[in-house]
Each structure stands twice: as structure tokens, then as C-alpha cells.
Amino acid sequence: MSLTDAQFSEDQAEAYDQVSEALSQAGVDLLEGTTLPPEETEDGSVLAVIGKAGSGKTALLARLTQDLVSAGVKTVSGDWEGRRTKATRTLAILAPTNKAASVLRLRGVPATTIHRILYTPVYDPEYEKIAEWLSEGEERPKLEDVSDAALDRAEASYRQHGSIPAALAAAGLRGSDFITGWKRREDPLDIGFVDEASMLDAKQFEDLTEIFPTLCLFGDPAQLAPVGQSGEMVFEKLPAPQVLSLARIHRQAADNPILDLAHALGDPDLTYDGFDAMVHRAAEKDDRIVVSPRIDAGLMARSPALVWRNATRIRLIQAFRKAHHAPAEALLEGEPLICDGIELPLKHRRKRLDLEARGLIKGAQVIYLGPGKKAGFSRLHVMGAPDPRVSAASIIKIELPDTDEPYIASAARMGAAFLHGAAVTIHKAQGSQWDTVQVYAPDLSAAAWAGRSEAGQPLWTRLAYVAITRAQERLIWVTRNRLALPKAPLTVSDLDATPAPLTLQSDEPGLAGLDTSETED
């Protein structure tokens, strides 16, 4: 067994050894801490590490990342990769959403989104010289529009954060100054780790296997499969020897009442009424579980209420806006939104890539900061994105009960489309976590009453599992169709434009401090 850390279980150690063996065959020896140049091969290696919440998947991913970095493997984020020699070994840690990537970054793992690896930035040749000077040790450049003092600021920023985009921003350059566009990645990478792999669809998995000769998926088989996947997750199609299961729930997880409830859902004889009674009993013993007859409208501004039915979602959004005295014809600063995709024709592919690269991918959680400088533009804070402040052409739809036509609060002809985010479906909440989560229990009861199933399990149990495991600290189980009024008005003062620094160093941990207001140009 390779792992000596007492906090690691036997199944974690076994999974570590099998992943380590696959890496060794690919030329990276974690035991010796050495690497060999990558070899071109047509046959890729794919492994999956699966386990329910609390089984230690993230801890294992972080340990493997740390050991790979110690062996000399370079982590890449998709922001600036610099030159790679034929002997350079690389690692990319990916997640399907900004929020999922930010959860890893807060734990010291230099993660980025899948999209930021599939598409890479194109740098202006002049400002690329600054990047090469900082990261590759090239000669200090002399540029007409960048002073020596600005270069000094860039150098100081790079030494502190290790981020090329942050260094360029410290020199006073906006994103549009040094990023001229985005292109589909043409050259393959090396080693890829993918968290929240239960969210991958078949096309994403195919794209990743084309880019990474060595790919390791980390996923939870108890979650909901992607829409359109017939209840099947991509790692369920792998041969049995390529799937490593973590079954033991760790002590710190076993002490968590939320995870106790999550694992109780694995009992095939458990009924909804029995589970509801378990939640009530847990609430009597532990204040991390709360049973409430009302949804808290104040919490919905940052942590959406989780529901099953779209009709419930729309009703709750309208109740939230009414409780905050939001006008029907406009948004208030601080209202939450969910990105519903990019509405652009194919000829505007570059604009699409630019918006998606800035974090406006489908399902991204966004906070409205106010109107932009141009008609149809909105200033936005993308939750979990390395550089969260964006201004973009926006189509903001506020759905209304009993009508198919939403109200359009922002009506750009094309751009990023948004729905209101005070309440979201449990399917869309996958990959995200919040400190406190409100779960609308009557919707789960309706799913149980409907008798629907998915992948051989009652649908309500999968919905309940995903919903309650979105809570990191506190679960509020809402039992009635009532709304508690907010105690304070909406605000944006709680939003920090600069993300917390990583504890695990990487070459490009993020885009801290980068000004992206140029998307209005």
C-alpha cells in the first residue's frame, strides 16, 4: 500500500495504487517522483474512481495532484500554458461547472472548467512577450505602451499568485488587450482528472478522451445522470477493472448528519414518509438539520431553493421577487440568475467562445450587478469563476406562472441568456454546493407519489440524495408552501471580485483581478 497517511482508508489506498500504476505505465512514477517524456499512443487509459458522498474522492484527487506536482508534472489551467518541451508532463484538473471547480480551488486543487481546456486563449504577440518573460525566463521586454513600473507590478503579481492573466491585469492591461480570441484546442494534453464525472455527457467524454491519453474520472454513482443519457453515467460503460469503488465513509463524514441522511437513502425499503421522519428526528438532535414550514427569501438570493418541478420553481421565483419588492419590469442589484446558454448564430463563434470562456456556460450561477454601459448589456458576477466580474450582452428571462411567454428584463438581440436563479431544479443544482441549502420537500413527496424511477431506483431517492448533498454545512427541509420574508434588502456588498489564493501552487491558478468589462466593446 503506497499511502502512509492514517486518514486514508484501505479502499482509498488501493485506488491510489491502481491510479499510480496507470500513471507509471504512462511514464510518471509517483513512488520515485520521476517522469519520462510522454509517448504517442493510439490507445488511451481511462480509470474511474467512484463513491458516494463522504467516501474520500476529493481527498484522493488532491493527494494524487500533490504527488504529481512533486514528481515534476506541470499543472495547466487553460489561461496560459507557455512553451512545452517534448519531455514536459502536464496535468489538468477539470470540473463541469464553475461552481464545482471553485469548490476544488478552495481546497487547494488548481481546477478549471472543462470548457477552459477544450478552448484556449489566443494572446496578442506583443503582450505574449510579458508572459514568456515571467513564466519562461525570457529577456525582460521593452514595450511602448507598458512602462517599467507596470512591468514591475506584473512581476510582483506573478511572484505572489503565479497567474499570467493576473500579472497582466496588474500591469494595467484589460483582457481585450492581451486575449484576442479563443480557439478549439488542437494539440492533445497529457493527464486529466475530472471531478463530478456523473455530470459528463457522452460528447464531453469523447472530447476528453481525444485530448487526454491518461484520464481519471471521479464521480458519484448515486447522483442523477445527465439529461438525455437514459439514466446512465459515462463511467458505468467502462469495463469493471477500470472502475475503482470507494465504499468506506470516513469518520469526519460519518459525524455529518447530512451525509447520514444521504446514505440512508440507499436502503431500498425506505419510503418517502420514513425518510421525512428521519429528517425530523435528525433536526431534533443536530442544529445542522432544520425543519421549517417556510422558505427563507433572504437565503434564496445566494443559495437557491431546490425543487423538482418547473412550476414550483417559477412560483417560488415570483414569491422571492415580490418579497424583495422587485419591480416587474426590471431587476434589482443582487438578484440571482442562472445562465441558460449562449444565443448566438454560428457566424459569431468567436463571441460565443469569449462569453463561455469568461464563465458564462450553461448552468453557471450569476449575480446581477446592474445595467451595462450599452443597451442590452448587464454587469454580472459569475459565482465560482476565477475572475468573476463580466459585462455582457444579456437576454434575461423572468418566467411567469400559467403562461408560456416569459418577461424579458434585458433584451439584447443576441448574447448570454439567463433565467432567474432564486430557485433551481435539482438537476441543474448538480455540481454546485452551498453552505446552506433549502430543499422544497413537497416536490420530493410528489415525485414519490408519482412512482417514477430512474436507473432502477425510485426517482425521489435520487432527487433527495442530490438535493441534500448540495449542502456543505446546513440543510433546511421545507415542509410547506410558505415564504418567510427577508430580514434585509438585496445587496452586492458580499461579493468579492478577487478569489481566495490557492494553497496548492500551480502555474496559472486563476484570473484574479482581471478586468473583463471590455466585453461591451
C-alpha Rg value of the chain to the nearest Å:
23
Of 201-205, 238-242, 252-256, 507-511, which gets the smallest average pLDDT? 507-511
Per-residue pLDDT of 106-118, as tens digits, reads 788 888 888 888 8
Beta strands, E only, 2-151: 28-29, 34-35, 45-51, 74-75, 90-95, 111-113, 119-123
* Res. 360 pLDDT band, cuts 50 70 90: confident
Of 37-41, 105-109, 225-229, 511-515, which gets the smallest average pLDDT? 511-515
Of 60-74, 207-221, 254-268, 295-309, which gets the smallest average pLDDT? 254-268
Given a cut of 70, whether residue 439 has pLDDT beyond it is yes
Of 227-241, 311-325, 481-495, which gets the smallest average pLDDT? 227-241
* Res. 312 pLDDT band, cuts 50 70 90: very high
User: How confident is the model over 30-41, as a mean pLDDT?
Assistant: 87
* Res. 395 pLDDT band, cuts 50 70 90: very high
Beta strands, E only, 297-376: 305-307, 336-343, 365-371
Given a cut of 80, whether residue 80 has pLDDT beyond it is no
User: How confident is the model over 505-513, as a mean pLDDT?
Assistant: 26
Chain mean pLDDT for the chain: 85
Per-residue pLDDT of 403-423, as tens digits, reads 878 888 888 888 899 999 999
Question: For 49-83, b where at least 16 C-beta lie within 10 A, e where not — what string?
Answer: bbbbbbbbbbbbbbbbbebbbebebbbbbbbbbbe
Given a cut of 60, whether residue 275 has pLDDT beyond it is yes
Amino acid 181: pLDDT: 72
% pLDDT > 70, the chain: 88
Amino acid 508: pLDDT: 28
Amino acid 250: pLDDT: 65
Amino acid 431: pLDDT: 81
Q: How far is 340 from 128, CA to CA, in rounded Å?
A: 33
User: How confident is the model over 302-319, as a mean pLDDT?
Assistant: 95
Q: Angle at Cα 357 formed by Cα 351 and Cα 361, nearest 5°?
A: 90
* Res. 503 pLDDT band, cuts 50 70 90: very low
Q: Please state the φ and ψ torsions of residue 180, each to the nearest 5 degrees.
A: -95, -10
Q: How far is 185 from 498, CA to CA, in rounded Å?
A: 28
- Could you tell me if 193 and 91 are in contact, meaning their C-beta atoms sit under 8 angstroms apart? yes
Given a cut of 70, whether residue 504 has pLDDT beyond it is no
Highest mean pLDDT among 13-17, 133-137, 450-454: 13-17
* Res. 76 pLDDT band, cuts 50 70 90: confident
Amino acid 453: pLDDT: 84
- Could you tell me if 99 and 303 are in contact, meaning their C-beta atoms sit under 8 angstroms apart? no
Amino acid 231: pLDDT: 65
* Res. 334 pLDDT band, cuts 50 70 90: very high
Q: How far is 185 from 208, CA to CA, in rounded Å?
A: 11
* Res. 253 pLDDT band, cuts 50 70 90: low
Given a cut of 80, whether residue 49 has pLDDT beyond it is yes
Per-residue pLDDT of 180-230, as tens digits, reads 777 777 778 899 999 999 988 888 899 899 899 999 999 999 888 876 656
Amino acid 81: pLDDT: 67
Of 37-51, 71-85, 185-199, 399-413, which gets the smallest average pLDDT? 71-85
C-alpha cell recorded at residue 348: 459569431
Amino acid 432: pLDDT: 85
User: How confident is the model over 45-55, as a mean pLDDT?
Assistant: 92
Given a cut of 50, whether residue 373 has pLDDT beyond it is yes
Amino acid 358: pLDDT: 75
Q: Which of 9, 51, 486, 494 is nearest to 251 (CA)?
A: 9
Q: pTM of the predicted model, to two decimals? A: 0.80
Per-residue pLDDT of 440-463, as tens digits, reads 999 999 999 999 888 778 999 999
- Could you tell me if 13 and 3 are in contact, meaning their C-beta atoms sit under 8 angstroms apart? yes
Given a cut of 60, whether residue 290 has pLDDT beyond it is yes
Given a cut of 60, whether residue 509 has pLDDT beyond it is no
